[in-house]
Amino acid sequence: MICLWFNFKLLFSLQNLYNMSNYFFYIIIILGIVFYFYNSNNKSKKAIEVLNNGGIVIDVRTPQEFASGNYKNSINITLNTIEQNLDKIKFYNKKIILVCASGMRSGQANEILNRNGIDSVNGGSWSNLK
């Protein structure tokens, strides 16, 4: 009888451990989602501030993506041609807001521009500027 009780208690505690690991997994997922939205909201605030101060929006998506929807008056310079267009971008002589579909490519473009002495911010998704 004691052995049966011990096995039941062990099984119950293993089940709780399994459930706790599931909760831990869900908590990590929820924290990741919260961080994603907080981070994208932060990018948008900076981008809108720069935009209100006369910044220029450069969309680094492909021409097909750009044609399917874009921020008004934005300029389409794809990520793979950003380095060839550094002189053109410097000529604008204004702070640059870089956007794409999600913020990944605009983040890469932001690093390239900053490395070359151009003042820019990663605006994240172009749809955040609407």
Domain parsing of the chain, residue ranges: 2-129
Question: What is the per-residue pLDDT for 20?
Answer: 57
pTM above 0.75, yes or no: no
Question: What is the per-residue pLDDT for 1?
Answer: 47
Question: What is the per-residue pLDDT for 5?
Answer: 47
Question: What is the per-residue pLDDT for 30?
Answer: 75
Mean pLDDT per 10-residue segment, the chain (130 residues)? 48 54 70 64 76 94 97 96 97 95 95 96 88
**Beta strand pairing call for 56-59 and 96-100:** parallel
Question: What is the per-residue pLDDT for 4?
Answer: 46
Class of domain 2-129: alpha beta
User: Considering only CA atoms, which of 89, 91, 86, 95 is closest in space to residue 75?
Assistant: 89
DSSP annotation string for 7-39: HHHHHHHHHHHHHHHHHHHHHHHHHHHHHHHHH
